[in-house]
Amino acid sequence: PDLTAAVDRELARATGADPAARHTSIRELWMRVEPLLREVTLPPAVIAPNEGSNAKNSGSVSLPGAAAPMPSWQILGPPLSGEQLRAGAFAGRTVIAIGARGLYHFAHGIWSAMHLPPAVDARLIRSLVRLPNGWLLLFGDLSLVTLISPAGEPERVVLGERDMTLLGAHADEHGILLVGEKLSKSAGVLVEWQRGSAPLVRLVEGTGRLHGVTRLASGDILVCGTHGALVEIRGRTQREIPWGRTGHLYAVAAAPEGGAFAVGSGGHALHVSPPAAGASSGYTATLEAVQTTRDLRSVVVDPSGKPWATGAQARLMQRRKDVWMRIPLDPMVRANLVVASVREDSVTVVAEDGSVYEAPLPAAST
C-alpha cells in the first residue's frame, strides 16, 4: 500500500493542473519513481512490512514499544513552494540543499536561491556534501562531480567516464570518496580522489548500486547499497561483511569506536563492529531493533558518538542502548526527512518540502 500510494503521488503531481507544481522534467519524475520501483524487484521476504502490521516474515528487527517522549519542536522555516528537496548539508545552523529547480541556502528562517554555475545542470545533481574546508561537493548523473568554493567558484572533477550515477559521498582530511553505479556494467562503483591527483575509479565486486560510503577510524573504507550490499575495502582488498541482507542499505556513518552504523529500507539498522585487536577476522554486522519499518535514508553521529537516522514519513530515530528509538515530530508533519543535524543541546531536521524544525535536547539524550 505504501508503494502504491507513493507512486500515485508522483503521478498525480506529474499530471496536475498547475504546471508550476509538476516535475520539471521526465528525468526528475524518473528520479522520484525509480527508487520506488526497485523495491518490487526484491523477493517478498526482503520487503519489510508497514508499522502496525505482522512483522513475522520481515528480516528487520522492529519493536512495538512506545516512542520516546516528543521534544518541544519549533518551526524554523516554512516549506518551499512547489519544490521537493533531494538532499541537504548543514554548516552550523545554516543549510544548503538541492531540489528539482536548483540549489538553496537556509539561514535565519529564510530559504534563498543560490547561483549555480552555467555548466552545472541542477537536474543532474543527486546529492551534496560539505567539505571540511567549507567547499561544497555536488554529484549525480552522468558522472557529475563539481566543487563549489565558498566564493562561488566552480571546479569540475573529470572522471573520464560518463556512464556513472553517483549517489553517496564522504569527505574528510584524507580526500573525497564517492559511490554509485556504473551503468554499462550494472555494478557498484567507488571513486577515490585527492586534490592534486587523478581520481581512482574502481568497481566493487558483487554489488549493484551503492548508496553510502564512509572512511573508518582504521582508514578502511566501508560501502553499502542495494540488496544489502556491505563491503569493507582495505587497499586493493574487498571483503563482503555478512549479514542477512534482508533489505537495501542507503547510508552509513563511521562510529568513534572504529565501527559504523548503516541504515536502509524497511527500518533496517546495522551496527558494524571492528575486529578485535590482533584478530584475523574482519568487521562484523549486527541487525538491531528499530521502532519503525519505514525506509531510513540518512544517518549521522552526534557529538557523543550516538547515531541518529532520518527517513520516510517524518521518521527520526535515535539509537539508545542498541535500540533505535523513534523521536516523534509534530503529528502534522508527514513529509520525508532529508537530513538532520544533532548538536549537544539541540536537533534540527529538514523535510523534503523545505520545512525546518528544531527541538532542544535534554542532557540525557546525547
Task: Report the phi/psi class of residue 160: left, alpha or beta, with left for phi > 0 and alpha for psi in -120 to 50.
Answer: left
Closest CA to 9 of 21, 25, 27: 21
The whole-angstrom distance between residue 253's C-alpha and the CA centroid of its chain comes to 10
Rounded to whole angstroms, how far apart are CA atoms 125 and 136? Answer: 12
> In the β-sheet with 187-193, what is the strand arrangement from edge to edge?
164-172, 175-182, 187-193, 200-204
Q: Which amino acid is at 316?
A: L
Contact partners, residue 108, CB within 8 Å, separation at least 6: none
In this structure, the dihedral spanned by the alpha carbons of residues 99, 100, 101 and 102, taken in order and rounded to 10 degrees, is 40
- Whether 179 and 170 have beta carbons less than 8 Å apart is answered as no
Q: Is 2 helix (H, G, I), strand (E, B) or coil?
A: helix
The DSSP line for 188-200 is EEEEEE-TTSPPE
Rounded to whole angstroms, how far apart are CA atoms 40 and 47? Answer: 8
- Domain 61-365, classified CATH 2.130.10.10, yes or no: yes
DSSP H helical segments within the chain, as ranges? 2-14, 26-39
The DSSP call for residue 122 is G
Q: Is 173 helix (H, G, I), strand (E, B) or coil?
A: coil
Cα maximum dimension of the chain? 65
pLDDT recorded at residue 4:
77
- Whether 161 and 143 have beta carbons less than 8 Å apart is answered as yes
Which residues on adjacent β-strands are paired with residue 349?
A: 340, 357
Show me where the domains of the chain are located.
Answer: 2-41, 61-365
In this structure, the dihedral spanned by the alpha carbons of residues 270, 131, 185 and 227, taken in order and rounded to 10 degrees, is 10
pLDDT recorded at residue 13:
81
Give pTM, 2 decimals: 0.82
- Whether 166 and 188 have beta carbons less than 8 Å apart is answered as no
Rounded to whole angstroms, how far apart are CA atoms 166 and 307? Answer: 24
Rounded to whole angstroms, how far apart are CA atoms 114 and 299? Answer: 26
Start-to-end Cα distance in the chain: 36
Q: What is the pLDDT along the chain (366 residues), one digit of tens a residue?
A: 566 777 877 888 888 877 767 777 776 677 677 666 655 544 433 333 345 433 434 455 555 455 567 778 999 998 998 899 999 999 988 999 999 889 999 999 999 999 898 888 999 999 999 999 999 999 999 999 999 999 889 999 999 889 999 999 999 999 999 999 999 998 999 999 998 899 999 999 899 999 999 999 999 999 999 999 999 999 999 999 999 999 999 999 999 999 999 999 999 999 999 988 766 678 999 999 999 999 999 999 999 999 999 999 999 999 998 899 999 987 778 899 999 999 999 999 999 999 999 999 876 555
